[in-house]
A and B are shown apart, each in its own frame.
Chain A
Amino acid sequence: MGEKLLMKGNEVIAEAALRAGCRYYFGYPITPQTEIAHYMAKMMPKVNGTFIQAESEVAAINMVYGAASAGARVMTSSSSPGISLKQEGISYASCAELPAVIVNIVRCGPGLGGILPSQGDYFQAVKGGGHGDYKLVVLAPYSVQELYELTVEAFNIADRYRVLAMIMGDGTLGQMMEAVEFRDKEETPDFKKDWALTGTGMNREHNVVTSIYIKPEELEAHNIKLQKKYEQIALNETRVEVYNCDDADIIVAAYGSVARIVKNVIKMAQKEGIKVGLIRPITLWPFPSKAFEKYAQVPKAFLTVELSAGQMVEDVRLAVNGKNNVHFYGRMGGMLPTQKEILDRIKQILK
Chain B
Amino acid sequence: MAVVFKRPHALKDVSLPYCPGCSHGIIHRLVAEVIDELGVEGEAIGVSSVGCTYNNYLFFNCDMAQAAHGRAPAVATGIKRVHPDHVVFTYQGDGDLAAIGTAEIVHAAARGEKITTIFVNNAIYGMTSGQMAPTTLLGQVTQTTPYGRKPELHGYPIKVCEMLSTLEGAAFVERVSVHDIKNIMNAKKAIKKAFQTQLDKKGFSIVEVLSTCPTNWGLEPVEAIQWLQENMLPAYPLGNFKDKDMEV
**Residues in A lying within 8 Å of B, measured CB to CB:** 28-31, 34, 37-38, 41-42, 45, 51, 53, 55-57, 81, 111-112
Q: How far is the CA of A8 from the CA of B99 in the complex (A)?
A: 28
Q: List 13 A-B contacts (CB under 8 A).
A: A28-B99, A28-B100, A29-B131, A31-B127, A34-B128, A34-B131, A37-B144, A38-B131, A38-B143, A38-B144, A53-B131, A81-B69, A112-B50
The reply to whether A112 and B100 form a contact with Cβ atoms under 8 Å apart is: no
Report the nearest A residue to B103, measured CB to CB.
A56
A51: chain B residues within 8 A (beta carbon): 144
- Contact in complex: A53, B69 (CB < 8 Å): no
| Bound CA–CA A31/B98 (angstroms) | 19
Any A CB within 8 A of the CB of B129: yes
B140 contacts A by Cβ under 8 Å? no
Is residue B203 within 8 Å, beta carbon to beta carbon, of the partner chain? no
Q: Is the CB of B129 within 8 A of A34?
A: yes
> Are B131 and A37 closer than 8 Å at their CB atoms?
yes
> Given the known A-B contacts A56-B70, A56-B100, A112-B68, are A30 and B128 also in contact in the complex, defined by CB atoms under 8 Å?
yes
B99 touches A41 (CB 8 A): no
Chain B 87-115: CB-based contact to A (< 8 A → 1; otherwise 0): 00000000100011010000000000000
Shortest CB distance B30–A (Å): 26
- Whether a CB of chain A sits under 8 angstroms from the CB of B5 is no
Give the CA-CA distance A124 to B74 in the complex, in Å: 25
Contact of A55 among B100, B144, B145 (CB under 8 A): B100
Return A5 CB to nearest CB of chain B, in Å. 21
Beyond A53-B131, A53-B132, A56-B100, whether A29 also contacts B66 by CB under 8 A is no
Which residues of A lie under 8 Å from residue B154 when comparing CB positions?
Answer: 53
Q: How far is the CA of A208 from the CA of B99 in the complex (A)?
A: 31
A sample of 11 more A-B contacts (CB under 8 A), given A55-B99, A112-B68, is A29-B95, A29-B125, A29-B131, A29-B144, A38-B131, A53-B132, A53-B144, A53-B154, A55-B100, A55-B102, A81-B68
Residue count of chain B within 8 Å CB distance of chain A: 23
A28 partner residues in chain B, CB cutoff 8 A: 99-100
8 Å CB interface, B21-64 against A? 50, 54
Name which residue of chain A comes closest to B147, CB basis.
A45
Q: Is the interface of A mostly helix, strand, loop or mixed?
A: mixed
A55:B128 contact, CB within 8 angstroms: no
* CB within 8 Å for A56 and B99 given contacts A31-B128, A38-B143: yes
For residue B66, which residues in chain A have a CB less than 8 angstroms away from its CB? Answer: 112
Q: Using a CB–CB distance below 8 Å, which chain B residues touch chain A?
A: 50, 54, 66, 68-70, 95, 99-100, 102, 125, 127-129, 131-132, 134, 143-147, 154
Q: How far is the CB of B126 from chain A (nearest CB, A)?
A: 11
Interface centre among B50, B134, B144 (most CB of A within 10 A): B144
A70 to B46, CA, bound (A): 45
- Output the least CB separation between A320 and chain B (Å): 38
Q: Which residues of A contact B68 (CB under 8 A)?
A: 81, 111-112
Given contacts A55-B99, A112-B54, A42 and B131 within 8 Å (CB-CB): no
For A42, list chain B residues within 8 Å (CB). 146
Q: Could you tell me if A34 and B143 are in contact, using CB atoms closer than 8 angstroms?
A: yes
User: Which among B100, B129, B134, B147 has the greatest number of chain A C-beta atoms within 10 A?
Assistant: B100
How near does chain B come to A91, taking the closest CB pair, in angstroms? Answer: 20
A229 to B100, CA, bound (A): 35
| Docked pose: A42 CA to B131 CA in angstroms | 12
Q: Cα distance A51–B144 when bound, in Å?
A: 9
A111 to B68, CA, bound (A): 8
Q: Which of chain B's residues has its CB closest to A58's CB?
A: B100
CA distance A29 to B96 in the complex (A): 11
Interchain nearest-CB distance for A99 vs B (Å):
25
Residues of chain B contacted by A53 (CB below 8 angstroms): 131-132, 144, 154
Residue on A nearest B146 in the bound complex, by CB: A42
Minimum CB–CB distance from A29 to chain B (whole Å) comes to: 4
CB distance from B139 to the nearest CB of A (A): 15
* Residue of A with least CB distance to B154: A53
Q: Which residues of chain A have C-beta atoms less than 8 A from B69's C-beta?
A: 81, 112
Q: Could you tell me the distance between the alpha carbons of A158 and B125 in the complex, rounded to whole angstroms?
A: 33
> Given that A53-B132, A56-B70 are contacting pairs, would A41 and B144 also be in contact in the complex, using a CB cutoff of 8 Å?
yes
How far does the alpha carbon of A38 sit from the alpha carbon of B154 in the complex, in Å? 15
Are A55 and B134 closer than 8 Å at their CB atoms? yes
